[in-house]
Structure formats: structure tokens, C-alpha cells
Amino acid sequence: MAVQNAKIGAILGFIGAVILLIVGLSGISMSINLYGPGFVPIFIPYITAGVTSAISAIGLYGAVLVIRDNFIGYKFLLIAGIVGIIGTFIPIYVYIDEWDWTYSFYLSSSFSFIDLVLMLIGGILGFALAEKKERKE
């Protein structure tokens, strides 16, 4: 029964990783709106969207590992959640236009932290609900 409860964490992590993948891919497709004379260098939105998609790929890999009964995947879910949350607070480019509007670009994007928190909670639940193995003496 503990094994099936532990898969709840994988499902939450999978949902969070898919939402994060949608955010990353939409960041790539919507970055064409940011180009203009003197606004943003062309590579900044692609860095943000690429890092977001890479974090999502790590989360998806971890969730798939857990669904295939390899509980090492919960480490990947935890790492993806923690790196994603830290990355949303690291600015990589700040632009101030002529009307004193400030535009900040961060290392990774998020959908209101819902996706990253789902991956983090999925990893924590996986370790908390994992089947306990007894020591052989």
C-alpha cells in the first residue's frame, strides 16, 4: 500500500513538470514580442525559456522514473523544484526604458510558483510515503 501512496508524489511532480514545460515553451514562442530597437537583447528570452524547459525536463525525467518504480526519481523532482524556485529569484537582465519602466528578466519562469511547488511537494511526499526497507542483520 505504501508503494501506491508514494506514486501520488510522482503524479503531482508530473503535473507540475508539464505545467512548467508549457510555461517554458510559451516563453520561446512569445519572445518575439520583446524585440525592438534598444529593448532586450535577442538571447535573453531564449535563456529564460531554455532554463525553464530544462528544469521541466529534469522534473519529467524524475516523475517517469518513479512511475517505473525507481524511487531515485524523487531526488530529481526535489532538485528540479529547488533549482526552479531559486532560479525565479535570480535576475539576469534589467532594462529601464525612457519612461522609467523597469523590466526584469529572471533565470527561470514559473506559473505563479504552482508548478514548482507541485514538483517540490511531489518529491517530499515521495520520500515521506516511500516503502521502508528493513535492515538485514
Cβ-in-10-Å burial (0-12, 13-18, 19+) of 117 comes to middle
In a domain, 136, yes or no: no
Q: What is the pLDDT of residues 51-84, one digit of tens each?
A: 999 999 999 999 999 989 888 999 999 999 999 9
Give yes or no for a contact between 111 and 24, defined as CB atoms under 8 angstroms apart. no
Domain range spanning residue 77? 2-129
Number of domains within the chain? 1
Which three cell numbers, joined as nine digits, stand for 70? 525507481
Question: How large is the average pLDDT for residues 20-44?
Answer: 78
In a domain, 137, yes or no: no
**What pTM does this model have?**
0.84
Please tell me the distance from the alpha carbon of residue 97 to that of residue 29, in angstroms, as a whole number. 23
Please tell me the distance from the alpha carbon of residue 6 to that of residue 130, in angstroms, as a whole number. 5
In a domain, 135, yes or no: no
